[in-house]
């Protein structure tokens, strides 16, 4: 029922009660009922406005809370992206060195480093966005709180880029398989396994094998196949760096928008 029908109903009930209780008294002027109607209308309207304002305040507080949580998630993401980017660059340098040795004439004299650089091939940390807040916004329908269109689009685009990156990484991982058979023809795999240490930041624990472990073969065709595989891995990592740079740029821009819109320190 609308506001006016409610008011008229209330006024009529009041008039009826007064007529019933004061049947023998002088009837009040119409102006009296007009002012009663006006005061009641004013009270109901003010109540409605206050309630509406309270709901707006609550929604704004929720919006600000979600904005702060998103900002915190993005700080975590940018730290992860920076760490991953640094590793990708480190790995790229190792693979370049490996490629240079594979086409050199004295490969057996540098075999310990071939073993060492090969250890980096199978290390491929993934970037996983800290998207807990975004998942909550999507599942609860509270994404609607963000009424700034630029901010709304920026949030949507950022997490879309993250999903695209993960899909791309999974796709390349399925297509470029680790060549166990080829590796076993070139290396003494017991030495490789011995120097593979599973640790936090594994690459910080990798070491050049002691002594002078030789390669099992220097056959040019086999080494050529291995060179091609290294080239494919490096190409994939270079593409990943482009995606990571784009995600990082969007994360920083989104953080700036959140800081500006919600005065986040």
pLDDT in the model for residue 3: 47
Contacts of the segment 178-182: beta carbons below 8 A, 24+ positions apart: 178/121, 178/122, 179/225, 179/226, 179/229, 182/222, 182/225, 182/226, 182/229
Low-confidence ranges of the chain (pLDDT < 70): 1-30, 32-60, 197-204
> CB burial class (10 A; 0-12, 13-18, 19+) of residue 204?
exposed
Helix (H) or strand (E) holding 42: helix 30-102
pLDDT in the model for residue 219: 95
For residues 172 and 236, the answer to whether their CB atoms sit within 8 Å is yes
pLDDT in the model for residue 4: 47
DSSP 123: -
pTM for this one?
0.74
pLDDT in the model for residue 74: 96
User: 55: which 2 tokens?
Assistant: 């709901």
């Amino acid at each position: 029922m609308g506001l006016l029908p409610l008011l008229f109903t209330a006024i009529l009930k009041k008039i009826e009660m007064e007529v019933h209780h004061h049947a023998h008294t002088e009837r009040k002027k119409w102006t009296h009922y007009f002012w009663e109607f006006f005061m009641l209308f004013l009270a109901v309207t003010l109540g409605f406005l206050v309630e509406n304002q309270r709901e707006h305040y609550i929604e704004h507080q929720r919006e600000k809370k979600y904005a702060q949580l998103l900002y915190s998630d993005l700080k975590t993401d940018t730290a992860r992206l920076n760490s991953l980017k640094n590793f990708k660059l480190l790995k790229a340098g190792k693979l370049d060195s490996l490629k240079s040795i594979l086409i050199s004439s004295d490969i057996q004299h540098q075999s310990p480093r071939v073993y060492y650089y090969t250890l980096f091939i199978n290390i491929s940390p993934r970037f996983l966005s800290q998207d807990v807040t975004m998942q909550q916004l999507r599942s609860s329908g509270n994404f609607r709180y963000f009424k700034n269109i630029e901010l709304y689009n920026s949030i949507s685009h950022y997490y879309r880029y993250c999903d695209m990156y993960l899909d791309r990484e999974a796709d390349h991982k399925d297509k470029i398989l680790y060549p166990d058979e080829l590796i076993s023809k070139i290396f003494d795999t017991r030495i490789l396994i011995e120097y593979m240490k599973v640790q936090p930041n594994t690459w910080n624990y990798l070491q050049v094998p002691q002594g002078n472990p030789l390669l099992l073969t220097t056959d040019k065709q086999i080494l050529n196949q291995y060179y091609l595989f290294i080239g494919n891995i490096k190409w994939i990592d270079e593409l990943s760096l482009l995606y990571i740079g784009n995600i990082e740029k969007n994360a920083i821009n989104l953080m700036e928008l959140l800081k500006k819109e919600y005065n986040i320190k």
